[in-house]
Amino acid sequence: MDFEALKKYSALHPKPAGLTLQYGTAGFRTQAEQLDHVMFRMGLLAVLRSKAVASTIGIMVTASHNPEEDNGVKLVDPLGEMLHPSWEEYATQLANAEEQELQQIITEICQKAAVNQHKDASVFIGRDTRPSSEKLSQSVIDGISVLGGQYHDYGLVTTPQLHYMVCCQNTRGQYGKATLEGYYEKLSKAFTELIKRSPSSGESRRHLKIDCANGIGALKLSEMEPYFPKEVLIHLYNDGTKEKLNHLCGADFVKVHQKPPRGLDMKPNERCCSFDGDADRIVYYYKDETGHFHLVDGDKIATLISIFLKELLAKVGQTLKMAVVQTAYANGSSTRYLEETLKVPVHCVKTGVKHLHHKAQEFDVGVYFEANGHGTVLFSKAAETKIRQLAKEERDDEKREAAKVLENMIDLINQTVGDAVSDMLVIEAILALKGLTVQQWDALYTDLPNRLLKVQVADRRVIDTTDAERRAVTPPGLQEKIDTLVKKYKLSRAFVRPSGTEDVVRIYAEADTQENADALAHEVSLAVYHLAGGKGTPPQP
């Protein structure tokens, strides 16, 4: 390793004094001007990771749904999954190291992680449309080059597209071709096959309005449009030509504010959806005849997909185990509907995509979505092999037909990570095949009214949780207090959890009416304020 060159190049990407960052679920995220040194060092880390696993690693420059002034970076592991937890630790150490410690920390990582110095390294890079992304991805390239790594710069791509490329590369093309054309062809072919089978195929055109959050989603959807079957007409809004990224638009805005994005004109009962800034989340919504806004969130997406897959699995007659994975934020009505009406097992895990993904891998078919619209479906190797075999060889017409539909679903779903483009096509195909309107889909169950609040505290670490963050272990007395408050309201539950990034405690409450959900959330926030070291004035109702 050429430590002289490292020293020289590292000086060109100096670390601002006193800045410490933490690699979390979303990688590193902060204001763009503070990230130059981090990008350079993540280039270094990607080379080490690539040598350690003898595979191509991905680096995505994006801050997803954050404001345009921010940026961020996340690493992608060989099968398109998130970076291994032990390497998140190394990423944090490397990002926060002082200039003179870099050499030592790199040497330590190489020893701890058994990095083979003689292996070649290969890194795929992608970036979103932020003004700062191009320059920051150049810093990543500096880091890769100084350690002698090879790289392929895909330029502007959605986050899920980069995950997809990395997976294709490391499965030697088994998952698909590691090009944008390969991605568009694989998804559109599967989608076209599914749409052909829909009852109204060829008659009516399906219209969908899409809010692209003024981000990368608009660019990539326009590239993909020529691949779509003619029945499908997409109308793009907030395409990034006029307004700022994520400003008053995008999936996160719509979900948090429960209202339509700016710049999208909705007529009653029109199907609309929003992507987030890097196109890995999607939510649907519509306005009814009275002008009332209805959000169809990640929980309802998971439910729609589960209904569809469960019917198909029953038709192929295989004993494949299916389950849905949720977090504590999933609406209680969705959990009840899945377990009691659909009879599908539901598992609850800690907040964070990596926990959901990991749990979903335990089943033949694992569906996971966060309420915010990030999610996908995983098929086990055995299930996929079985389904593809039945689609080819099954004698019984109905069974073979069901297996073919399942096979196309497997090809349409991006199994590496939540993907707004892929999820949108899955949803559109299911609605067409089942002949459902967005209102009928929304009416599967009624969400329990809920309220999210946050309380500022001196130190978020005073709160420790268990049971997938649904119960507080510390501070003493808090959980007992919450239990007492919950008993006052019908169909109610509440939980508190520390934020992963700032000194605030997040509170979630739901109950039979909005009034009761609000009251419960407020009472719980007061309990947190008094028992967990609240800062400033007590929460006001």
State the pLDDT at residue 26. Answer: 84
Q: Is 64 one of the catalytic residues?
A: yes
Q: Which two tokens stand for residue 313?
A: 């699995």
Annotation-wise, does 281 bind a ligand?
A: no
**pLDDT band, residue 203 (cuts 50/70/90):** low
| Average pLDDT of the chain, as a whole number | 95
- Distances, alpha carbon 43 to alpha carbons 6, 21, 61, 104, 357, in Å: 12, 16, 11, 17, 25
Q: What percent of the chain has pLDDT over 70?
A: 99
Instruction: Tell me which of 3.40.120, 1.10.1740, 1.20.120, 3.90.930 is the CATH number of domain 298-420+437-443.
Output: 3.40.120
Q: Give me the residue spans of the domains in the chain.
A: 3-156, 182-294, 298-420+437-443, 450-532
In Å, what is the CA distance from 520 to each residue of 71, 351, 355, 468, 510?
Answer: 36, 22, 28, 21, 8
pLDDT tens string 58-86: 999 999 988 999 999 999 999 999 999 99
pLDDT of residue 403: 97
189 contacts 411 by C-beta, under 8 angstroms? yes
Q: Which of 10, 50, 55, 64 is catalytic?
A: 64
- Predicted structure pTM score: 0.94
Known binder of ligand: residue 153?
Answer: no
pLDDT in the model for residue 318:
75
Residue-wise pLDDT tens digits, 372-392: 999 999 999 999 999 999 999
Answer yes or no: is 498 a known binding residue: yes
69 annotated ligand binder: no
User: What's the confidence (pLDDT) of residue 202?
Assistant: 54
Across 93-119, average pLDDT: 94
User: Yes or no: is domain 182-294 CATH 3.30.1490?
Assistant: no
pLDDT tens by residue, 478-517: 999 999 999 999 999 999 999 876 789 999 999 999 999 9
Rounded mean pLDDT, 407-427: 97
The whole-number average pLDDT for the span 149-164 is 98
Instruction: Single out the residue of 117, 124, 119 nearest to residue 2, CA to CA.
Output: 117
Instruction: Give the domain 450-532 fold.
Output: TATA-Binding Protein (3.30.310)
- C-alpha angle with apex 509: 505 to 513, nearest 5 degrees? 155
**Amino acid sitting at position 8:** K
- How many residues comprise the chain? 541
Task: List, edge to edge, every strand of the sheet that includes 504-510.
Answer: 450-456, 504-510, 493-498
pLDDT, tens digit, for every residue of 180-193?
999 999 999 999 99
User: Where is pLDDT greater, at 109 or 256?
Assistant: 109
Identify the pLDDT of residue 503: 84
64 is in an annotated binding site: yes
- Predicted confidence at residue 281, as pLDDT, reads 96
The predicted-structure confidence for 251-305, as pLDDT tens digits, reads as follows 999 998 889 999 999 999 999 999 999 999 999 999 999 999 999 999 999 999 9
Asked if pLDDT for residue 117 goes beyond 90, the answer is no
| pLDDT value at residue 541 | 87
Banded pLDDT at 204 (limits 50, 70, 90)? low
Q: Measured between alpha carbons, how far is 97 from 196 in angstroms, rounded to an integer?
A: 56
Q: Is 217 flagged in the annotation as binding? A: no
Fold matches, 3-156 and 182-294: yes
Beta strand 122-127 with 56-61 is parallel
Is residue 501 marked as binding? yes
Nearest Cα residue to 233 out of 391, 68, 428: 428
Residue 201 has what pLDDT? 58
- Quick: pLDDT tens for 437-480: 999 999 999 999 999 999 999 998 999 999 999 999 999 999 99
Comparing CA positions, the residue from 272, 279, 373, 377 lying closest to residue 323 is: 377
Q: Which fold has domain 3-156?
A: Alpha-D-Glucose-1,6-Bisphosphate; Chain A, domain 3 (3.40.120)
For residue 256, what pLDDT is reported?
86
Lowest-pLDDT choice from 36-40, 63-67, 197-201: 197-201
506 has binding-site annotation: yes
